[in-house]
């Protein structure tokens, strides 16, 4: 019983652990680094049983569990999944083709962009504070976004930057603990009802233009961190699989509308995009996928 898991974030790794423990053979495909977005987080404080964890360390322990259970890992991009006549699945990567009895999609989401910042990516514009924040130690930076991820980015940057602007075009949506931390940081200035409309500079980002209450103003800074939400990565899947605003629709067993294809984590249709919910979804996907194979193969 061969299962392909597409995506090596916490949802995918958890589904691998449960499917392996159920006696299936598992291959985890991951285009980038195992651990996904969780691996980039420095302080995780809402994972049950763990007071505080480093995201990279936590996900590496999950990956080690997968390997010790006999799971196979492949660092390649999956470009298509095709349903075969015998109800098995062809998984094609950029370099080769594999055949599996079932598929668990844990491909997560990609970060959205503003639509005009591309010329300065790597030259003052970034999508990851923990990756690039230390390049701007003691300088003025900004975060564009209104969700929990944007708040976390601003909090991290406040520990290295001289000043952080949090530019919010919507009401901030984060748990109360994060909001309390945010309001306590003296070097974070929240700009509500504000959006970034232009990035300025030559070889390097020098400033941004923002729109607030119908007026345009300029903010001089060294870096802009974009955290304006995410979009699901499902383009490699058949169009016939049901989606809701791009996210995969699943039933109580985490199975999609295509028999034999399951989904978990942020790519699945759910409002709570948290590590614990991704792991919960992954556990169900791995277990029910194994059960499906035992009944049908």
- Closest to 130 measured CA to CA, from 65, 56, 60, 73: 56
In this prediction, residue 6 carries a pLDDT of 98
Exposure string for 98-132, b = 16+ CB within 10 A, e = fewer: bebbbbbbbbbbeeeebeebeebeeebbbbebbeb
CATH topology agreement for domains 2-110+230-296 and 118-226: yes
CB atoms within 10 A of CB 15: 36
In this prediction, residue 272 carries a pLDDT of 74
Q: Please provide the size of the chain in residues.
A: 297
Domain 118-226 has CATH 3.40.720.10: no
Domain 2-110+230-296, CATH: 3.50.50.60
DSSP 8-state class, residue 276? H
In this prediction, residue 45 carries a pLDDT of 82
In this prediction, residue 269 carries a pLDDT of 72
In this prediction, residue 47 carries a pLDDT of 86
- Measured in degrees and rounded to the nearest 5, phi and psi for residue 121 equal -65, 125
Q: Domain ranges for the chain, please list them.
A: 2-110+230-296, 118-226
What's the average pLDDT block by block, 10 residues per block, for the chain (297 residues)? 96 98 97 88 84 91 97 96 94 95 95 92 91 93 94 94 96 91 95 96 95 94 94 94 94 97 91 87 97 89
In this prediction, residue 151 carries a pLDDT of 95
In this prediction, residue 235 carries a pLDDT of 95
In this prediction, residue 274 carries a pLDDT of 86
Burial status of residue 266 (CB atoms within 10 A of its CB: 0-12, 13-18, 19 or more):
buried
In this prediction, residue 144 carries a pLDDT of 97
In this prediction, residue 50 carries a pLDDT of 86
């Amino acid at each position: 019983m061969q299962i392909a898991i597409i995506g090596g974030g916490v949802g995918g790794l958890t589904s691998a652990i449960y499917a392996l423990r159920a006696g299936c053979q598992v291959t985890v495909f991951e285009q980038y680094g195992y651990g996904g977005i969780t691996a980039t987080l420095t302080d995780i404080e809402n994972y049950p049983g763990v007071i505080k964890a480093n995201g990279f360390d936590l996900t590496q322990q999950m990956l080690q569990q997968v390997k010790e259970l006999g799971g196979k890992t492949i660092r390649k991009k999956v470009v298509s999944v095709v349903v075969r006549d015998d109800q098995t699945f062809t998984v094609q990567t950029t370099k080769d083709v594999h055949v599996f009895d079932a598929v668990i999609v844990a491909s997560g989401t990609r970060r959205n962009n503003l639509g005009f910042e591309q010329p300065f990516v790597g030259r003052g514009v970034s999508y990851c504070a923990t990756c690039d924040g230390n390049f701007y130690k003691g300088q003025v930076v900004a975060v564009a976004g209104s969700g929990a991820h944007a708040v976390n980015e601003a909090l991290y940057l406040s520990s290295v930057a001289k000043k952080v602007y949090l530019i919010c075009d919507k009401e901030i949506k984060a748990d109360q603990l994060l909001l309390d931390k945010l309001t306590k940081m003296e070097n974070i200035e929240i700009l509500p009802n504000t959006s970034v409309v232009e990035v300025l500079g030559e070889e390097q980002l020098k400033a941004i233009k923002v729109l607030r209450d119908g007026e345009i103003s300029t903010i001089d800074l060294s870096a802009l961190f974009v955290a304006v939400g995410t979009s699901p990565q499902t383009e490699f899947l058949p169009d016939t699989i049901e989606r809701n605003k791009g996210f995969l629709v699943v039933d109580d067993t985490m199975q999609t509308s295509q028999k034999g294809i399951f989904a978990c984590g942020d790519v699945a249709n759910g409002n709570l995009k948290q590590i614990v919910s991704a792991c919960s979804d992954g556990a169900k996907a791995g277990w029910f996928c194994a059960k499906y194979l035992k009944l049908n193969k």
